[in-house]
Structure 1
Amino acid sequence: MLRIGTWRSAESVDVVACGWHDSGPGALATGIKLIYGTGGRVPELPGLRVGALPAQGAEEIAELLCQGLDVVLTAPGCCPAAPVVAAGMWHYGWTRGDVGALAGATVAGLAMAAQAGPCSVEIWRDGRSSLDGHVTAAAVRARLAARFPGGRYRTPEVTVPLESVRLSQEAPSRIRIALRAGSR
């Protein structure tokens, strides 16, 4: 499973941490990768390999993670779901052919980006996910709806119809996110 989280406060840069190659093929390889939006100051991170130029989207972010960078910067205006989709591409080896998984990660990324405070998502290989934080299914649905102009969200990798998104409240602070089969 892949875990991704954000830390948000007025005085900090938005950070997405992803890592834990614990369920992929091959030997266990744990670690953390950081993806920073370039809108703020990136702290000094001695000993970590930091990308020199901002990445434009999920495929670029994933490529830089696969090249071994520890910290990837994203360009202003980058799709808010791109860091989560990229983390899945890096962790699971997803390609454009993995439409269901990419669509699921897109929804998880949009849901995570819409949260005002710290939160995390867990993403499985098939794109199913859960969102943890101070959340309710109704609030997440409302925030997602605001990001789906015309009822669809388009990225270079997938188009996700809002009607395919299924949210269920698993616990007071945990939402399960799934997509209806065949709707991507």
Structure 2
Amino acid sequence: MLSALGAGGLALGLAGGLAGCASPPAPSDYAAEKPALDLRSYFNGPLTAHGLFTDRAGRVVKRFTVKLVGRWDGPRGVLEEDFVYSDGTTQRRVWRLTDLGQGRWQGEADDVVGQATGQSAGNALNWRYTLALPVDGRIYHVQFDDWMYLMDEHVMLNKAVMSKFGITLGEVTLSFHKP
């Protein structure tokens, strides 16, 4: 097999294997990416999002749409999210956001445990928080590692990994659209 790959193929294979051991992405990795994400501008006014939740095996568990409205007063903002799930259930979350400067963000919501923290650079935002998630009459505290990427002035893609005790429970994928 080595002769079929040659030394270059072996080097590429080793480099690919080592890349799997690399550290996770950081917002600074996207600092040069355009268009630059201005969270206050993008989440100002009405937006719509479509998303889905997949379990650890990658199966779609729930689909949903979200109607959002953002308002800002200087560095402080409110982002209202109204969810409608594929099973007909609804949910409302109201984020209270603060722009701390230098790409740093802080947020609170009634079902978020403590404070959410975020860091943005270039076209990306990494948002981390613990959510109090109701399941079958019980509340579980699960961690979200949320990444948002501005694609253009209208579209932002969002991928979040949900975990508990460091074990991935599933992923949320969203597409935001700003008219």
More helix by share: 1
TM-score, length-scaled by structure 1: 0.29
What TM-score do the two structures reach when normalised by structure 2?
Answer: 0.29
Question: Which structure has the greater CA radius of gyration?
Answer: 2
| Structure 1 or 2: more strand by fraction | 2
